[in-house]
Amino acid sequence: MALLLGFSLAEARVHNHTWEITYQHKSLDCYNKLSIAINGMTPGPVLIAMEGDTIIVNVINHLFMENVAIHWHGIRQIGTPWMDGTDGVSQCATMPGDTSTYQFVVDKVTVPAGKSEPFVYDGGDHSIVLSDWYHSSSYEHATDLTYLPYVWIGEPQSLLINGRGKYNCTNLDTSVCNTTNPECVPYSLIAVPGKTYRLRIASLTSLSALSFQIEGHNMTVVEADENYVEPFVTKNLYVYSGEIYSVLVTANQDSRNYWMSTNVVGRKPATPTGLAIFNYYPNHFHKLPPTTPPPGPAWNDTGARINQSLAIKARQGFIQSPPSTSDKVILLLNTQNTIQGRTRDTPYLIALKKNWTDVFNQTPSPESYDIYNIPRNTNSTSSTSIYRLEFNSTVDVILQNANTMNVNDSETHPWHLHGHDFWILGYGDGKFNMSGDVKYNLDNPVMKNTVPLHPYGWTALRFRADNPGIWLCHCHIEAHFLLGMPVMFESGSEMVAEPPQQNMGCGRTKSLIKP
């Protein structure tokens, strides 16, 4: 699923859609796999809407054994928290055979109505969806991750660009893997020489951090998570799970076809490069470029990835200044432990200001922690507590990275906050100084909803708890989410209307369903 936002002075419209969720056999990387599809499509359909439009989607679950909930990533659901699509937080997921209706207003725009965007392009607007692709099922992954002994899910088999990839079918029967299947023909973006194109690049990966590049071309980054940024030029764009960037690229090279490619970074790659074609018209759009695909940046060049993070600043004229101070500070220590023998990536919740003892149900972790070695507290506990925040208060979240249970290993974690955008106040190496002066960027910090936490470093965020409801904040890597890396922020929930009947039906909510 993808939701593209447009900008218009036209009167707001209502968009009605019906999505039927089914199992389908798909060969997105030439390997035949049972997949989940929306209206027969994987990836799902694109919704195109303007600011202020109302989206209504009737979701019919035709799956045999799986419940369905749809989260509208990046839509803050202001006034409609029950539509956030978070199973166990805002709703009971839709059971097989049932239908749920999502209705909300598109809210994401940073320029007032009637004003143009601060950049121009004349060659069209294209979505580029990057994803990683496993041949094993989510059931197998969940079993491995919760098994004794714990089994890691491993690296994905393929990288896809707009749902197309190429797996090595050598020694496999064509009924299993067939490179002539039209489903896995590389995606091709047709470009007219001399024109400038806007690419909206989104990562829907379940694990992988990626780089994206277009052979022989520079990209100018102009937007991050639908917030305008000071333009900067790059050859390799780093994109973490859940992030969205707009880049401008001009077809200003010799008139032939070029590779678009994506590679794994942050983890030692065991997955082939994902490929697509930047097709210079009038060359045939399926004609492969005559060159070797660019290799992309070194997978372990953490410095280059940090430099991109530091380069992202709010664009002049579109700066939304953060509050100069915060009311509360929360530190989330990203590490790894075991719980009853099972491995968990457990964020430690540490309150750094006074008078927070009534907020949490767990004993605070000590402030003297070691981020560089395997954790000593290898039999940790979990908690179902939530952070209860004063409505409209300003909250700082310090994401602190540390060592996993493997020697000299600290993983990249992309964190996503529902219901809000946050200011990114800064990044740093090593251990965050909780008692000393930390220089934050209060002049032009960018606002985003997803941000990377780099190995053995910290990331500082600030947001205003001004959206009534209970909102997830979590690592966007699916395996890490399952292993214990979500937290929940609550504020102003007394202002929220009663939940719709369709959101109930699990646990104790069964008793609330009216006949």
**C-alpha 155 chain-centroid distance:** 18
Pair (62, 206) in one structural domain = no
Enclosing domain of residue 87: 2-114
* Residue 44: C-alpha distances to residues 22, 204, 496 (Å): 11, 12, 31
The arithmetic mean of pLDDT across residues 313-338, rounded, is 90
Q: Please state the rounded mean pLDDT for residues 305-333.
A: 95
AA identity, residue 486: P
Min mean pLDDT across 2-16, 45-59, 264-278, 421-435 is at: 2-16
Same domain, residue pair 77 and 143? no
User: For residue 232, what are the β-bridge partners?
Assistant: 221
For residue 388, is pLDDT > 90? Answer: no
Lowest mean pLDDT among 328-332, 370-374, 449-453: 370-374
Average pLDDT over residues 174-182: 96
Furthest-apart CA atoms within the chain: distance in Å: 68
Q: Is residue 316 part of a domain?
A: no
CA-nearest of 381, 466, 469, 422 to 89 is 469
Q: Which of 398, 386, 379 is nearest to 460 (CA)?
A: 398
For residue 244, tell me if it sits in a domain.
yes
Handedness of CA 306, 309, 313, 315 (dihedral sign): positive
CATH code, domain carrying 134: 2.60.40.420
Where a domain ends, among 278, 311, 344?
A: 311
pLDDT band, residue 384 (cuts 50/70/90)? low
pLDDT given for residue 150 in this prediction: 83
For residue 289, the model assigns a pLDDT of 97
361 and 238 inside one domain = no
Torsion of CA 263, 269, 271, 276, to 10 degrees: 10
Out of 60-64, 100-104, 407-411, which region has the weakest mean confidence (pLDDT)?
Answer: 407-411
Pairing type for strands 54-61 and 14-26 reads parallel
Q: Is 195 exposed, middle or buried (0-12, 13-18, 19+ CB in 10 A)?
A: middle
Better pLDDT: 430 or 337 = 430
Q: What proportion of the chain, given as a percentage, has pLDDT over 70? A: 87
3-state secondary structure 119-175: CCCCCCEEEEEEEEECCCCHHHHHHHHCCCCCCCCCCCCEEEECCECCCCCCCCCCC
485 and 423 in a common domain:
yes
Average pLDDT score over residue span 160-171 = 96
Residues 292 and 143 in one domain: yes
Please give the average per-residue pLDDT across 68-78, as a whole number: 95
- Euclidean distance between CA atoms 475 and 478, whole angstroms: 8
In a domain, 319, yes or no: no
Which among 74, 89, 114 is the end of a domain?
A: 114
Q: Label residue 94 by pLDDT band (50, 70, 90).
A: very high
Q: Is 495 helix (H, G, I), strand (E, B) or coil?
A: helix
Do 278 and 146 belong to one domain? yes
Do 24 and 138 have their domain in common?
Answer: no
Question: If you average pLDDT over every residue of the chain, what do you get?
Answer: 87
Strands 99-105 and 54-61: antiparallel
CA 397 from centre of chain: 18
Q: Which residue has the higher pLDDT, 428 or 4?
A: 428
Residue 449 or residue 116, greater confidence: 449
Count of domains in the chain? 3
What pLDDT, on the 0 to 100 scale, is given for residue 144?
Answer: 94
Q: Please check whether residues 110 and 133 belong to one and the same domain.
A: no
Would the pLDDT of 216 be above 90?
yes
| 76-90, 261-275, 341-355, range with the lowest pLDDT | 341-355
Average pLDDT rounded to a whole number, residues 6-18: 72
pLDDT for res 364: 38
One-letter amino acid at 218 equals N
Rg over CA atoms, the chain = 23
Residue that wins the pLDDT comparison between 224 and 484: 224
351 neighbors 330 (Cβ within 8 angstroms): yes
Q: List beta partners, residue 387.
A: 489
Record the tokens describing residue 506, joined without a space.
Answer: 């699990």
CA dist 22 → 62, 83, 94, 131, 176 (Å): 5, 21, 13, 20, 21
Same structural domain for residues 96 and 133? Answer: no
Q: What percent of the chain has pLDDT over 90?
A: 68
pLDDT of amino acid 438: 84
Structure tokens at 479: 């395996």
pLDDT tens-digit map of 412-428: 999 999 999 999 999 99
Residue 354: predicted pLDDT: 24
Say how far apart CA 191 and CA 126 lie, in whole Å: 11
Give tens-digit pLDDT for 222-242: 999 999 999 999 999 999 999
The reported pLDDT for the residue numbered 179 is 95
Domain shared by 297 and 361, yes or no: no
